[in-house]
Amino acid sequence: MKKTNETKKIFVLGGCRSGKSRFAEQWVTSRFQRKCFIATLDVKNDKEMAKRVAMHRTSRGDGWSVIEEPLQLADVLLNYPEKSPGKSDVILIDCLTMWLTNLILAGRDDKTIEKEVHKLTSAVRACPVPLVLVANEVGLGIVPESFLGRRFRDLAGWTNQQVATACETVYFVAAGLPILLK
């Protein structure tokens, strides 16, 4: 089922509800049988977010092993497959924007986050299986009113730039349509 000569590291960007996750899932499902999904969202007690997670699980369907990791994303990749629930042919990470949010909410300062991003990009390059990463493009809108909003937007843009350099292929998804950037 796996097609030969596929790029190993793919980055999928898009706005909220742009179809980026669906595109990434379909890309993976059409090429691989044994799939691993790394979820970065920490639902906590948020009922609305739990519904969103359930919707994503349903859309993915069966055949995925799942790792939930809200903070130590690079460590999961660096220790793959030892920390995985089963050997997979591909890993899909959704989403880096939530991972960044988790780091900010955990009180990490910008320098610490930059180090985590550098650690992640090194882990992306070293990952022994094909990897698809999903993130939001948040820099296309207005300048946020609050310091936290501007900090988040700037860190997200910088993070996306770093991850894009670590991947062979980058897609931007708008209105459900993938546009090849790199």
* Catalytically annotated residues: 56
Helices 147-166 and 96-105, packing angle to 10 deg: 130
CA 119, 70, 2 angle in degrees (round to 5)?
Answer: 75
Q: What are phi and psi of 45, to 5 degrees?
A: -110, 25
Asked whether the beta carbons of 90 and 31 are under 8 A apart, the reply is yes
- Show Cβ contacts of residue 94 under 8 Å, excluding neighbours closer than 6 positions: 21, 24, 37, 38, 39, 40, 56, 134
Tokens of 1: 């089922």
Helices 20-29 and 47-60, packing angle to 10 deg: 30
The SS3 assignment for 46 reads coil
